[in-house]
A and B are shown apart, each in its own frame.
Chain A
Amino acid sequence: MNEIIEIGEPTELTFTQRWNTYLSLALAGLILFLGLSMRDNALNATIEFEDLEAGVRVQVPTSWLLTSGAADYVVRAEDPNALPFKTLLQVSVLPVGPDATPNNVLDVLNIQRSERLATYHEISRTDETLRDGSAAKRLTYAYTEFERNPFLQSLPLVVKGVDVVVLRGSQAVIITYREESSAFDDHLYRFENLLGTVQIF
């Protein structure tokens, strides 16, 4: 029969051993705080984008793919690491008439998108006040996106989007966020950050 020989005895901790334990726990708290700060700084770092012609200045995520100067938008930022849908932030400008309201602009967008985007439908429309106090309208919508490459054999994605429309003189500025529906709420803060930094001049 095997006999288990217990050599060590429970020992009372010395002053040094106790304080080593306390300091290790304190260090863990400090290091984890530093780690979170580093991660947040890296993930949420932004750079300034300015378009003097369109009169728009915004902060966009540093590591995202940035395109600008296209016909239908001023600036577009996409997260290259996001799967299966590239998270999108976009600022576009639309010329409008003197009597136009944000609701009119949203109606036009609805009509255009229902032709272009599959199963597009509006979810909600609410009032919004931007940081500088200007009134805006927020439209939430959804549509399905299909993978164009048939060899990938993927299911359609449900994409959820938000548009905030604000009028400036003879133009409407549309700030857009689109994300795959399951990750929409998780990354909504990026849109709110963008909205908080947008300057229209």
Chain B
Amino acid sequence: MSSFEPILLAPEEAIEESYPYRRVWRTSAQEIGVLLFTVLLIVGVSSFTSFLPDTYANPRAKTGLALLPLVAWLFFSYRGERQALIPRTGLIGMVILGGLVGYGVAVPLEEHVWKPDLWLPAQGFFGRILGYMFTVGFTSIFLKYLVVRYTVWPQRFNQRMDGIAYILAVAIGYATVFNLHAAWFSDITLAALAMRVASITFSQLSTALLIGYFLSELRISRPPVFWMPMGLLMASFISGLYFAFRGMTLVGSLQVASTGSSPLRSLMLAAGLVIVMFLVMSFLIESADTRMEALTGRRNA
């Protein structure tokens, strides 16, 4: 008996489900990679060669370096968004608002009210955590929360990754202001500025992720009434923890052959924090999406 079933000459291609949105984790990882690579390159070149003189007065190079995270975000995230089938709207506005609250509120508060340099370094480990958490840390977290909460939330939050995309845009604007401030008003070398820019950007991105996740959950699922305050506290605590550990890593051991400061370890700490936070948040969001899909058959709100 003959069979009339068609014989496949080539294996059937697996149909890949089209994802209409920008893949936020991928573009963010690219930005982090570019920033880390550039910073390490600058530090390496200025330390071991005379090709890039490690001078104090190089305002254009410093400004360019301070703008690098923003440029990387525009190139990877914003361009990726424009190419997506369903682009998220208002991201540039988020960056601008992040920069405005950073420049208009956070910088004056830090310089004239909190003055962390005057009293936080003298505190003990737990004093530093709480001190930074209740002052500079909470300010940065709460301002970013306010920007997203009173602009795009909840109407543009349709899936959990929307929260991450919007809050990262705010964090980039916010970090850029602090990067420029460090570039223009600190007498530090190019290599030191590179590490400072990376530390500022990574720490801002890391803590912002938590806020994005908590805002998304508040929009999509039914969390308790203390959900958002808990998220704000957790994010501030992480920023306080980062500051306390940064103080420990930055001040290295005093040795005959070296100075006591070790900015490279501080950079590694910031890079480690951002990588861990990205991994943890991507796991949490994927788990929540999978659970939601299993229960309701959809991943969106």
Chain A interface (Cβ < 8 Å from any Cβ of B): 4-11, 13-14, 16-17, 19-21, 23-24, 26-28, 31-32, 34-36, 38-39, 42-43, 63, 81
Contacts and interface: CB of A to CB of B under 8 A. Distances in A.
A106 to B, nearest CB: 33
Given A16-B222, A21-B149, A63-B119, A39 B138 contact: no
B158 A7 contact: yes
A24 B228 CA distance: 6
Contact of B154 (A13, A31, A34, A35): A13
B229 A35 contact: no
A19 B138 contact: no
Contacts of B145: 24
Interface string B57-88: 00000000000000000000000000000100
A39 B229 contact: no
A187 to B, nearest CB: 12
Contacts of B119: 39, 42-43, 63
Contacts of B225: 16, 19-20, 23
B122 interface: yes
A71 B219 CA distance: 71
Given A11-B155, A38-B135, A42-B123, A6 B228 contact: no
B294 to A, nearest CB: 23
B157 interface: yes
Interface in B116-139: 117-120, 122-123, 127, 130-131, 134-135, 138-139
Given A28-B138, A38-B130, A9 B229 contact: no
Q: Secondary structure of the A side of the interface? A: helix
29 contacts: A6-B89, A7-B86, A8-B157, A17-B154, A20-B227, A20-B228, A20-B229, A21-B228, A23-B226, A23-B228, A23-B229, A24-B142, A24-B145, A24-B228, A26-B229, A27-B229, A31-B134, A31-B236, A32-B138, A32-B139, A35-B131, A35-B134, A35-B135, A38-B135, A39-B135, A42-B122, A42-B123, A42-B127, A43-B115
A70 to B, nearest CB: 26
Nearest to B224: A16
Interface residues of B, number: 39
Contacts of B288: none
B154 to A, nearest CB: 5
Contacts of A32: 134, 138-139
A19 B222 CA distance: 12
A34 B134 contact: yes
B180 interface: no
Contacts of B224: 16
A115 to B, nearest CB: 36
Nearest to A18: B225
Given A24-B229, A31-B138, A8 B158 contact: yes
Contacts of A23: 225-226, 228-229
Contact of B156 (A8, A17, A27): A8
B223 interface: yes
B138 A35 contact: yes
B222 A8 contact: no
Contacts of B113: 36, 39
A186 B219 CA distance: 46
Contacts of B155: 8-11
Contacts of A6: 89
